[in-house]
Structure 1
Amino acid sequence: MLPNLHARFALFDPVSCHCLIFFGRGVNLAVKGGENKFHLKSGNHQLPGEWHYDNAKKRIRNLHSNKCLKAHHPHAALEETCMESIEQEWIVGHGLQGLADAPISCTSNQVLSFFEKGHGHIRYKCVHVAALGSCVPGYSAQVETKAPELEDVKALKRMTATCPTGHGLRALEAEASDKGAWIRLRYECCQINRVPVSLYPYIGGDGQREFMVDLADGWEGIYCPSSQDDSGRMQFSQSRSFRPHHNPSGSLQYNKFQGQWCVSGKACASSDVVHPLDVALSTHEWHVVPVSDFDAVFEARGVKPLGGNRKRSPPPLIKFGSSDPDYLPECKDESHPGARKFKLALMNKEAEDLDDENPCKYVFGKPPKNQQMDESEGMTGWIDDLSGTTEPGQGGVTYKSVKECSDRDIVRELKLAKWNKEHWDATKYNWIVEDILDGIGNSFALETAPMGFGVELNPFGLAAAIGTMAVHGVEFHYDQQIADREMHFEQAGHDDCNPIQHGFARTFCDLHCIRDAVRKGDDAILRALEEAVEIVGKNTQLLLEYYVKKQNKAGQICFQSCAVGEDAKPGLIENGLEIKHGIAKSMGEMFAMAREAALEPRASVAATRAINVFAKRWSGANVSKIPRLVSELQDLHGTIAKLSSRKLSRGREVQRYAVQMASQMNKYMQAQSHVLGIYHHESSTSKLLQRRLNRFWRSSVSSSALLLEVEEETAEEDIKEFDSMWWEIRKELDGYLQASQEHVRATQAAAQMLQNYAAKCAAGFSEMKRAYSLSVRAETHAHKILKRAWAAVSTGVAEMASKVADGVILDHLAVHDLHSLNPKAMLSKMNGTEIQVFCDGSIDAAFTVVRKAAAEAMKKGLYGQTHRQLMVLFEELKMLQSRFLSGGLGPIPDVDLVQDAQTRLQSALLQSAFGSSKVAKAMVKQLRTKCDVSERGPKSLLDESSQAK
């Protein structure tokens, strides 16, 4: 039984009552008969219902409503359900390894009420909640699990799941990446709706109705639409306050700058919904709920006829089908190497008909029928790896063909190096053989003197001379062999593909397709948004018409008190139209965000996927799912807003192959620059030799006492003529070397710009295109200078060969060098024994002495220097042929003429060297005349030698 409670009821409604204690006034219990029942009375007023005290469970129960009276605090008691809370206990994990193995979830009408983590398991309880509201997903901070400071900073403490006031936690689950790089918590918070109440004045002790003004604030009440803001959202004004005797003055408006719905003077709810009732809009201070006053008029209209049992078929709904972006034909998977659908023939077919300004035009190729490149077109070549493999190259440029093209260049370079090594091994001992032959020829001599007259015979001298010529012939054979092999090497490189040219073609075609993919992807997003807006709107209209059939229902958004000057009440159709208008507004905002700027490809794919999933999921829903549709539309709106910030980056879309190609081109051009440096050095050395040749000529002519006047004039004319021809050739060669160096620098700059664009995002596409254009112009200029230089040099070398060979210029220079020998200087290097041998020995012994001195004089004289100049010229002719072939300039003009001139010059050098031996023999006879024993004997030559010394 209750004691005498000093309290009175301040607020009563069908579901609750509150008691406030006032001394001097109380609630009396009126026992009903002898039963354990009683009534509650305040003064003379009896409160409705019969009450019973359950002694076993210690509670007061209302017999009519089956509610129990429970005290919450000394100032209030609340009439609540007598049902006990039913909790379900769950245990997950036995030997639990991590958070990702323990998903925690309650059913759709339950929330978590208990949570305990034990060793190897997690125990939790779920409790039933009546009228559970909408659930909103949430995410904790994402923690990088591979960070070295993870244990130090205790980053896992940042993984919190917090629900706002008035919400309950329904699910909790850990999400981790596939490779375990990060982890986060995903949870759901569900709104626990408040039960709507109606206000009645309490009944005092005198039976008069009075209001308790402290039960509600003035801003709490009913809000109705009053106007529309510039975003299309309604503005609400307070039409009735729950606080008695308070004039309504509050407002509920949307702040488009903050993205919040705000009640005047109170906290704001962060949401961009079109209408506050589209979701359960709330803060820790207020909730928005629909209102109905249940003011119905019941009229006796008789019994309605029973309807048939046949169910109406739902209307056919419009299906959403997303469309793939319409990429350019040359950029589709069928034309892109590496794709599963790639076909080389289809790529060549698409590329062949493209415009010359389209980068993908230059990946087309048609393989040749033979080495003469018959019927070949575009990017292709004839494969010859110098190891016996010859076949047509691939028609068209792919990543694989570029790699194989570069590999073949490396193989050919290695093969040429092996050939040069073989040539060196075959000719490195020739000079030793020549010295042995000379020794043999000078070591044996036979003398016969019948009847006092003698003849000296040297059969081995002739054999040695023949052996020397044979050695020279073998050396000439190996020189001709290495020349033919080098020509084969250059011809194979010319016929095959160019790695740099093919790499640039493939790279720029890929960049062209990336640009097309970004533009077409954005267009596809816009089209998908437009189609999704239209389909969702039409399906919403069809479902509303089907389920409502234009009948007004209770539960509308706007209430009777909202109508101003009208008796008609808005129905569910108007409610549906309002929701439809809100959906259209939200879709329009997403459409505007998608049009603002181009998205990066991954953001485009994510946005397209989100839109397609949303549209497909709601293509067949019914009207009961409209609140869920609005909630997911909110999520889609947030996703598009987040992705719209990820605008296209300039370098992120360039494939990794572009970076690798730029690095390879840099290395290749550095090697080319090194080769050019070698030729520049040879050019400088050659110029220095030519200047020394002129100075040596002037000094030798002025100091020579043995040269005849006619020979002096002839040699001088030969030197001047050779010098004039050489400098004309040198001018053309230097011009090409300078242009080639500029080409190398421009290509290196283009490769570096490509690397900056692709890997570092430090350059724009226009800058990269400008650098590529400069490299192309530099290459074109270098090829133009190369053609002009080859034409001039080939003519100059042929003219030089004719004048040198026909005019015996080399013979004149060799004779000049021999006549410039100083006999006294030569004799000063000989001792007495050597002079005795020279005078008394064989003619071959004396010839050996003079021949060595003559060879040294020719090596240091005009002949030797001219010989070195011609060797430099021959190397530079090989370089021009190599550049002509590697540049893809077609067959080399007049190559036979140049080879014939080179052969004639080499033959002239050999003939001059052989002719110098005859001059040396004449000099021997002249010197031996001074060894007349009958008159002066060897002593006279010894005297001259000592005087020379």
Structure 2
Amino acid sequence: MRMLTVTCGHNSVLGGFHFEFSEGGRWGRVRYQCCKAGGAPVTFDPRGQLSQLVSPFDGTYCPTARDASGRPQYGSSNEQTLTFDRDAWKWCIGSHCSADTDVASPLGLVTKTWEVVNVSDFNGEFEGQMPKEGTKGMSLQDALKMKPPKRPKAPPMQELQEFKAEQPKYAAECLNYQNLWKKVTETFKDEEDNQVEKTEKLLAEPTTEGAELDDYHPCEVAKGAGGIFGPWGGGDGSTAPENMMYADWNDCMQGDIERDLASARLDYHGALTEFIMDMVEAGGGMICDAIPDVMIAPFGTGVGMNPGKICEGAMELVGAIKTFAGPASGFHFAKQGWEIEQEGYAACNPMQIGFARAFCDIHCVRDAVIRGDRSIVRNLELATKKTNNNMAALMKWSVEAAHTESGWLADKMDYSHVINVAYLQDIHNMLTGLTGPQGEGQLIERAAIATSKMFEEMQGYAEAASFNDLSRVTARDALETFLATPDLAGAPSNATALALLGHLERLHGTLRLAARKQKEQLVERQLQQSVRQLQRQAQLQLRSLGVYRLESDASSHRTRKERHHFMSTAASLERRQVMMSMDHIWWQLRKKLDEYLSVAEEEVRSFQVSLEEMGSYMHCKKGFSSLVASYTSSMASLKRSHRQLRHAWRVGSELLGEMASVIVDAEAFQSFVAEQGCESSLVKQTLKQLESAIFGMAFLLHRFRAAKLPEPDRYPLKEATKRIQEAYAAATSNCTS
């Protein structure tokens, strides 16, 4: 026995135990079942009073004497005294005194260390609840007329609070960016895995709207920074707008660049003008020195001319012009330079605006981070609070439901007690109240009635006890003990009836104890049977999906294999376009059916996983949260499969209608029969494609019925099939079978 170990592990309790032994094989073993503990085991161990938890002033104080003022003095069993100090006008226990008072009695005084209250006797009565008086002495007939207590409805569950995240609000100055931050658009996937695009307006913190900012605030500095867009900078002379944006800042920087270029251009032209004047003056002097004197004497006498003197006079004139024109030209260039500098002074400063805007942006980033973090914290606090409230509501509802269920079980136990007492009282009356042969006959007759009812109850107890290994062994041992009882010898009598009823009562009590968890185990067994049945149903559905998957793959392979041959044949018959249209539509239909098939297989597998989680939960291997998560995933897969099924049916009906239109409008069957005869291979290949498509639609209809969904609209499918049949019949009307 010491070698047989029973271990359930950490946080587990023993749920069932059974010892088995074989005399022939000389072996023994233990069967046991473990369950996860719902909470820590708690016991109450009486240890008496803990002295460290008792104040030294605690006790019962009784009057022992009176002082000079007539006030009573109180003493206690722990040798403490409560007296009035006339000098300090305080009631004191040792050195611990009350506040100043002149009351004659200390009753009601409260200090930091003690309090005076009246003594009250603790004489409560603690008695267990006994059966109701009205049920005592009830006859068996009256007891059987009693209706069993009706199971009450569970209390209504309180509506749970819903949580919706609150979006953060930002500083108003950080949203004053024209149209840049008025709204934000984001794309995400919802709980059904659908892509959603959502646009929301960014909201400003109400306390920041219209509030005046400090003059050193970076956004206030950026708002006030400005200037003009002057003509030297390529502008029109207008004033820069308030709170300049990035495009205005770029124009401001470009204007600064244009003014620098204009200033450089003025410097260049001034230097060039001065250089030309100097060159003219220096070059003219050299030319005048090289010119010789000229004599004019046509008759031997004449006038002598000196061109060099004339040239020097001209150069003196040029020097005078330079002396006058130089300052005038310099004044002109200086005036333009002054205008450029004036405009630069009045124009916007790109460095100032750029730094102010950059620091304002940094401020807004910091503001967004801080407000976003605080919004996250608030949302988490609110979500946690609502979650705690919902958990408290669920726990309260669970306790109320358990209380209601416990009350019903208590009433049912009282009802069973009344019935059993009535049976026993009736048996006792029959055994003690009847004498003589006639009485013994009536006693035996009544005993037979009572035993028949007990046998009916024991049949139910035996069925309930068969749900558990330990209960089944206990019931079997009780039945074997009852059957091993020797037969009663002699004629029927009160003694034999009493002995028989004693055996039956012991058997009845044993079976009732073995089947006391009848309802729970019966429900558990029914639930296990339902789970197994659902698992078999899921396997059948997965098998049907697998059969269709094989047929779909075979059809696709056959279509690919015969595609090139029939396309080349159709090309020679100038019907390639018809075959290409049919092939394109058929592959679209095949794609939709395969997409649904993948989703349906995923649904069935998710359903199987959920059933496995249910089995693990029933055997205490996994918790309820895991079961709920698996159930939620299974329901999501079910909804996704139903949506895909409706979509596949709608698209498939449209594509089959397109195939019928191509066949009828292009007179495909008539052309194929006219060109290849009644045994046209193109007709056969087209019919195979149509049969595969119709088979796929029939499979979708089967899935509608298997999922217990409303019947889809079959009119387009019937109409398309009818048109195809009529076209084929018209094309082969002259063919003989």
Indicate the structure with greater helix content.
Answer: 2
* RCO comparison, higher one (Cα < 8 Å, 6+): 2
Is the structural similarity TM-score above 0.5? no
**What TM-score comes out, normalization by structure 1 length?**
0.25
**What TM-score comes out, normalization by structure 2 length?**
0.31
